[in-house]
């Protein structure tokens, strides 16, 4: 049973009402709960899982992990009893945690757009993967001879200072191709793709939550640029 992912349309939504569609025992005092819709972002695309609470009539649980299995979003919940299938619940995410994750995620994309504007990505260095968690970093296939740390920090923070707008929307692959700075391999062709666009720069395919504009992230620090087995790893951080 598919879950409607409310966080894909509105990254700033903190609460929702939902219906419990399915409940599976997970372990001692823990359950897997599938809802008809959710604001809880499931771990993925380098962004950490949301956490928070679900409450219903005479029932409440603590969401500690969320994952997406082919559109079915599982909320891993600690609770004294299992929720009953069919009950209505209210879900509230831990906003401080989400907002930090969202800013870290957008920061990674700002660095990636800066790498594009500097002419290194996607040709010389091919975007490979990213992690926007405890040790935020983005990884490119390929390496450079020159040291670009200062240049990248300047371009990244120039984008932050410009207060550029981020927008996100769904469109067919054909339309995304026209505005994308690159496309990661293996994108589905049979459904609309979520697009993340940075005003005046370009777009990429993306499934995570994002802030509305670059200045919201604040100053981004390029911690290091490391070379490892033909890869370039850019480590970064943002202010708390
Ligand atoms: Zn992303």
- SS3 of 163-208: the string is CCEEEEEEECHHHHHHHECCCCCCCCCCCCEEEEEECCCEEEECCC
Q: Which domain holds residue 215?
A: 98-238
Q: Is 128 helix (H, G, I), strand (E, B) or coil?
A: strand
Write the CATH number for 209.
3.30.980.10
Residue that finishes a domain, picked among 66, 93, 120: 93
Q: What is the predicted pLDDT for the residue at 28?
A: 93
| 185 CA → ligand 1 middle, Å | 15
The reply to whether 120 and 32 lie within a common domain is: no
Cα–ligand 1 centroid distance for 194 (angstroms):
11
Tell me the HSE value of 179 on the side-chain side, using a 13 A CA sphere: 21
Q: Residue 78 maps to which CATH number?
A: 2.40.30.130
Distance 168 CA to ligand 1 centre (A): 11
Q: Ligand 1 centroid vs 180 CA: distance in angstroms?
A: 13
Residue 106 C-alpha to ligand 1 middle, in angstroms?
7
User: Other CB atoms closer than 10 Å to residue 52's CB: what's the count?
Assistant: 21
Give the strand pairing for 37-38 and 4-5.
parallel
Cα(214) to centroid(ligand 1), Å: 14
Cα 213 from Cα 166, distance rounded (Å): 5
Cis peptide bond prior to 103, omega within 30° of 0? no
Does residue 113 sit in the same domain as residue 209?
yes
Element containing residue 105 per DSSP (H, E): helix 95-117
d(CA 204, CA 173): 11
226, β-bridge pairs:
233
Q: How many CB atoms lie within 10 A of CB 16?
A: 21
Q: Where do we find the tokens 């790893």?
A: 233
Which of 93, 119, 137 represents a domain boundary (last residue)? 93
Separation of 45 CA from ligand 1 center, angstroms? 6
pLDDT tens, residue order, the chain (240 aa) = 799 999 999 999 999 999 999 999 999 999 999 999 999 999 998 999 999 999 998 999 999 999 999 899 999 999 999 999 999 999 999 999 999 999 999 999 999 999 999 999 999 999 999 999 999 999 999 999 999 999 999 999 999 999 999 999 999 999 999 999 999 888 888 889 999 999 999 999 999 999 999 999 999 999 999 999 999 999 999 998
State which H helix or E strand residue 100 sits in.
Answer: helix 95-117
Total domains in the chain come to 2
End-of-domain residue from the set 93, 122, 138 = 93
Check whether residue 158 and residue 211 sit in a common domain.
yes
Closest CA to 66 of 55, 57, 77: 77
Residue whose structure tokens are 């926007």: 132
Picking from 214, 233, 17, the residue whose alpha carbon sits closest to that of residue 102 is: 214
DSSP letter at 71? T
Considering the domain architecture, whether residues 70 and 142 belong to the same structural domain is answered as: no
pLDDT confidence of residue 222 = 98
């Amino acid at each position: 049973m598919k879950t409607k992912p409310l966080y894909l349309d509105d990254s700033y939504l903190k609460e929702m009402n939902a219906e419990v569609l399915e409940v599976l025992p997970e372990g001692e005092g823990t359950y897997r709960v599938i809802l008809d819709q959710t604001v809880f972002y499931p771990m993925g695309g380098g962004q950490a899982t949301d956490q928070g609470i679900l409450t219903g009539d005479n029932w409440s649980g603590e969401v500690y992990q969320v994952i997406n299995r082919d559109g079915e979003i599982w909320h891993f919940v600690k609770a004294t009893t299992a929720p009953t299938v069919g009950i209505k619940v209210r879900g509230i995410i831990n906003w401080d945690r989400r907002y930090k994750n969202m800013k870290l995620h957008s920061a990674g994309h700002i660095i990636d757009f800066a790498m594009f504007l500097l002419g290194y990505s996607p040709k010389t260095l091919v975007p490979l993967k990213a992690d926007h968690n405890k040790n935020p970093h983005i990884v490119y296939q390929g390496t450079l001879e020159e040291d670009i740390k200062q240049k990248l920090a300047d371009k990244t923070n120039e984008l932050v200072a410009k207060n550029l707008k981020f927008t996100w929307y769904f469109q067919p692959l054909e339309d995304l191709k026209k505005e994308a700075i690159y496309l990661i391999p293996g994108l589905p062709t049979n459904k609309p793709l979520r697009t993340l666009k940075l005003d005046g720069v370009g777009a990429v395919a993306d499934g995570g939550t994002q802030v509305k504009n670059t200045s919201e992230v604040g100053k981004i620090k390029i911690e290091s640029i490391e070379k490892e087995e033909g890869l370039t790893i850019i480590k970064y951080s943002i202010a708390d």
